[in-house]
Structure 1
Amino acid sequence: MHSYQVAVVGAGYVGLTTAACLASLGHRVRCTDSDRGKLARLKRGEVDILEKGLPGLVAEGIAAGRLGFVESAAEAVETAEAVFLCVPTPMGEGGMADLSAVIDVATKVRDVLSPGCVLVNKSTVPVGTAARVAALLGRDDVAVVSNPEFLREGTAVHDFLNPDRIVVGSDTRGPAERVAALYARLGAPTVLTDAASAEMVKYAANCFLATKLSYVNAIAELCERLGADIGDVTEGMGYDRRIGPTFLSPGPGWGGSCLPKDTMALKQVAEVAGFEFGLLDEVISGNAKQASRVVERIAVACGLDADADLTGLRIGLLGLTFKAGTNDLRDSPALSVARLLAERGAELTGYDPGLTGAEPPIPGVRVVDDPYYIAKDAHALVLLTDWPQFRALDWPRIAGLLEGPVVIDTRNHLDPDALSRAGIAWRGFGRPPVDPVRTPSLDPVP
């Protein structure tokens, strides 16, 4: 396989994973970022991102001489055959994706890109961005290609090296084929299409996943009202190959760096196109209500009215990141719940295995480094992120620390029977409640 010279602009979750994985495939990669402190740490092999397998790949790439980090974007791209833009496209005004970073980088590098180079947009961008960037470059000898990423935080390296598909979009086939060749060793199904369709694939996929999550949260609430078990319901659904088992777990809402901004961006794109996307509107509004539903459930589990004042109620939060396996707090549904609890007066203490204490303070939450600290004198524990290690906690010990022996498990992650045997009431979502096992009295019968 031909070894390409590649530049990656942006060393975040997507950029650093892309750079390290392409280097592991034998390509020669130079990566740059606007954060010079981050670059200095990366040159020493220090990875700030909590991502399984990524530190090892970075170290291997540096040691093999296939991966390097440079401060200047111009230096990174000047000899590259393919330049990957992996810069943030956060939610901008009105929900539309903010393309300022994409435009800024394209402007800076357009005069130093080598003839025949392919500029690859890896960032999630609205339909039409490739054409806009091509017009900005104003170079007939440089092609702009859309190559959306489908990486999940926490499993990004695995996802990159074991993709379901590779999508490459270009209005001319040659550049698309050159980009697809970068991934040849992976042997994944490859979709070659036009740039607009490739850009649309990413939004269509993420919004469909958001739809499944909002749908299953609604079904979970309906199960509670009808006495059904959401676990059995989704198992029965998941065996249907038309549906599949993924993204059918209820929770405190969907969040993270992708789904919230991508759903809003597609909503805005639809409005600009004059299309009334009512289904997507309901998906977004349903998710916006989920945090309030969770807070109401917490109040009821603590023996209060759903809308009661929670002043003085001490609550421990298990998990604060938006998903297990990451240290990412961006648009975390756990923080949405925490914010509403704090607004209603609750006293909050939180623990998350992914947080080191170096993160910015979380308003309204005292973050500690031991899960047992959050249980001391708490009226309830609330599991918000499904870290595997929460299953292995010493629940009898926690029962002895709690003021109120109840756990609200927003992700149905824990073993209700284990908690019951420990003397703790378990309250899940879309499933029947499980109360503590009561030890029979040993007093003689009169």
Structure 2
Amino acid sequence: MFPQRIAVVGTGYVGLTTGACLASLGHDVTCADVDEAKVERLRHGRTDILEPGLADLLAGGLAAGRLRFLVDLAEAAGEAEAVFLCLPTPRGPAGAADLGVVESVVHELRRVVRPGAVLVCKSTVPVGTAARLTALVARDDVAVVSNPEFLREGTAVADFLGPDRIVVGADDPDAVERVAALYAGLGAPVVRTDARSAEMVKYAANCFLAMKLSYVNTLGELCERLGADLGAVTEGMGLDRRIGPGFLRPGPGWGGSCLPKDAAAMLRMATVADVDFGLLRAAVEANQRHRGRVVAKVRAAVGGRLAGVRIGVLGLAFKAGTSDLRDSPAIEVVRLLGLEGAEVVAHDPAVSPDLPGVVVVDDPYLVAKQAEAVVVLTEWPQFRAIDWALVAQAMTGRTVVDPRNHLDPEPLARAGLVWLGTGCGARGRAGCPAD
């Protein structure tokens, strides 16, 4: 049964990566999207998504004739043996995932997919969605399978082609095997389960990571108060195989298109199921508090008042390696600075958004001009290579706030700047409040 004719509905981060990677595995892939302008750009090998390796896969798939793009859903999916749903599920009322787009597409697909086709849901959807879509399809000859994605922006291609695991869930064992076979050759463990469990895996994983990030950010605050070094603490923790080193880096809070939305959806599911998920709720609350704590550090660094004070900001994307601003903690910190009257000048290597009350510049050194403080909010490697002596000359203040502990404090110290990180200790007490 290999290779297969596959349709991918939706060409966002997940859909385009899924389509291009499946084509690279030898499948015949047709991607469908309602955005005619985007489809036309993709047909010519152009994508607006900043994702290492994706442009090369796109070009290779087009050149080999294994990847094409259409607007017509019926034409794209009509002969496909597997139809992947890679559609947005934004946060809806009370935090629940909005399935409007998914259900609308499935309603249309049920009339056009061939007998024996498998609908593969890669979108992050609440537990029970596969059963809901099965009822909506209302065809005994079409199976619905949950196959959640675990792609990180900035490493999505590598994550798809070198996954930690592949999760496939359905009530039909034959449909599970058919979808699992599409990934033959990747060599990853395959978790075969029921649809509800597969749907829960994605939320369970993301919410655990969110809690881990909130934990380390709060731990950083505690280290500052007690004089411990967060870097040493997390190194000692990460060497424990039960914990591991991943997601133990501090920052201005967690964000992006997945974690906040998925945490809200998980809390909503828990509420409906009458389960008190206080641990996750506390992680969400801690995340919001930590963004405010970054602003408090900046405020204290400039004398206790932000009104009329110029603040330089390095980084706006929610993480390095992407141009994604969705639920970016950097954007929230900038917003909070503006609410207190700060004059914000910002730079990001990948994106120049139009932000109310913010001057966005194309040169990182311009953010330092007459700035009382500079804040590093995204961990772009370019920021580590900045000439901090030039920054010091341009600034009127002397403080660089680095909630991600991204910078090496030594070059800043040589330039006469004060580094304020998260946690303190062996690297100096600059990140701690005065005794």
Q: Which category describes the TM-score, using the shorter chain as reference length?
A: over 0.9
Q: Deviations over 1:365-421 (max 9, x none)?
A: 211110011111111100000001100011111111111121000100000011101
Is contact 1:427-1:434 (8 Å) kept?
no
Q: Deviations over 1:253-298 (max 9, x none)?
A: 0000000000000000011011111111101111111111110011
Q: Show the counterpart of 1:388.
A: 381
Q: 1:262 to 1:408 in 2, by over 3 A?
A: same
Summarize deviations over 1:338-373 as a string: whole Å, max 9, x none.
Answer: 000000000001100111x4x4x1122211110011
Per-residue CA deviation, residues 2-39 of structure 1 (Å, 9 max, x unaligned), is 11000000000000000000000000000011111111
Amino acid at match of 2:235: E
Q: Distance in 1 between matches of 2:187 and 2:109?
A: 32
C-alpha displacement at 1:435, in angstroms? Answer: 8.7
What TM-score results when the alignment is normalised by the length of structure 1?
Answer: 0.95
3-state SS, counterpart of residue 281 of structure 1: helix
Q: Distance in 1 between matches of 2:289 and 2:190?
A: 38
Q: Distance in 1 between matches of 2:58 and 2:108?
A: 26
**2:307–2:341 Cα contact (<8 Å) kept:** yes
AA at the equivalent of 2:213? L
Give, in angstroms, the shift of residue 300 of structure 1.
Answer: 1.1
* Aligned counterpart in structure 1 of residue 334 of structure 2, from 331, 338, 347: 338
CA distance in 2, matches of 1:282, 1:378: 35
The answer to whether the 8 Å contact 2:6/2:29 transfers is yes
* Counterparts of 2:6 and 2:355, CA distance in 1: 38
Which string of whole-angstrom CA distances, capped at 9 and with x for unpartnered residues, describes residues 222-251 of structure 1? 000000010000000000000000001111
Q: 1:225 to 1:435 in 2, by over 3 A?
A: closer
- Aligned partners of 1:288, 1:312: CA distance in 2, in Å? 25
Distance 1:434 1:405, change over 3 A: farther
Q: What letter corresponds to residue 281 of structure 1 in structure 2?
A: R
Letter in 2 for 1:403: T
C-alpha contact 1:426 1:435 (8 A) present in aligned 2: no
CA distance in 2, matches of 1:80, 1:284: 41
Residue 376 of structure 1 aligns to which amino acid in structure 2? K
Residue 129 of structure 1 deviates from its aligned partner by: 0.2
**Gap regions ≥5 residues in structure 1:** 437-446
**Matching of residues 12-27 of structure 1 within 5 Å:** 12-27=12-27
Trace 1:251-262 onto structure 2 (pairs within 5 A). Answer: 251-262=251-262
Give 1:312 deviation, angstroms.
1.2
Partner of 2:83: 83
1:79-114 superposed Cα distances (whole Å, 9 cap, x missing partner): 000000000001001000000010010011111100
Q: Distance in 2 between matches of 1:424 and 1:276?
A: 47
State the Cα distance separating 1:434 from its structure 2 match: 5.1
- Per the alignment, residue 237 of structure 2 pairs with 237
Contact 1:342 1:364 in 2 (8 A): yes
CA distance in 1, matches of 2:399, 2:273: 49
Q: Is 2:354 the partner of 1:371?
A: no
What is the DSSP-based 3-state SS (H/G/I as helix, E as strand, rest coil) of the residue aligned with 1:201? Answer: helix
Matches of 1:250 and 1:87, distance apart in 2: 31
Does the 8 Å contact 1:417/1:434 carry over to 2? no
Higher mean alpha-carbon deviation, 32-41 vs 331-340, is at 32-41
Matches within 5 A, 1:134-173: 134-173=134-173
Which position in structure 1 is the counterpart of 2:192? 192
Is 1:329 the counterpart of 2:325 in the alignment?
Answer: yes
Match of 2:433 in 1: none
Secondary structure (helix, strand or coil) at the match of 2:364 reads coil
Distance 2:356 2:206 in 1: 29
Q: Distance in 1 between matches of 2:347 and 2:428?
A: 24
1:292 aligns with 2:292: yes
Sequence identity, in percent?
63
Letter in 1 for 2:374: L
Aligned length: 429
CA contact (8 A) 1:425 1:435 kept: no
**Contact kept in structure 1, 2:227 and 2:429, CA below 8 Å:** no
The farther-off stretch of 280-289 and 163-172 is 280-289
Distance 1:389 1:258 in 2: 25
- Out of 388, 393, 408, which is 1:400 matched to? 393
Tell me the TM-score normalized by structure 2: 0.97
Once residues 336 and 368 of structure 2 are traced to their aligned partners in structure 1, the CA distance between those partners, rounded to angstroms, is 20
Cα distance in 1 for residues equivalent to 2:307 and 2:300: 14
Tell me which residue corresponds to 1:72.
72
Shift >4 Å, 4+ stretches: 432-436
SS in 2 for 1:389: helix
Q: Secondary structure at the match of 2:401?
A: strand
RMSD: 1.1
The residue matched to 1:184 in structure 2 has which SS? coil
Give the structure 1 partner of residue 307 of structure 2: 311
Other structure's SS at 2:91 match:
coil
Match in the other structure for 1:250: 250
What stretches of structure 2 of length at least 5 have no aligned partner? 431-435
1: CA distance between counterparts of 2:360 and 2:5? 44
2:105 corresponds to which residue? 105
Letter of the 1:32 partner, please give it.
A
* 1:181 partnered with 2:154: no
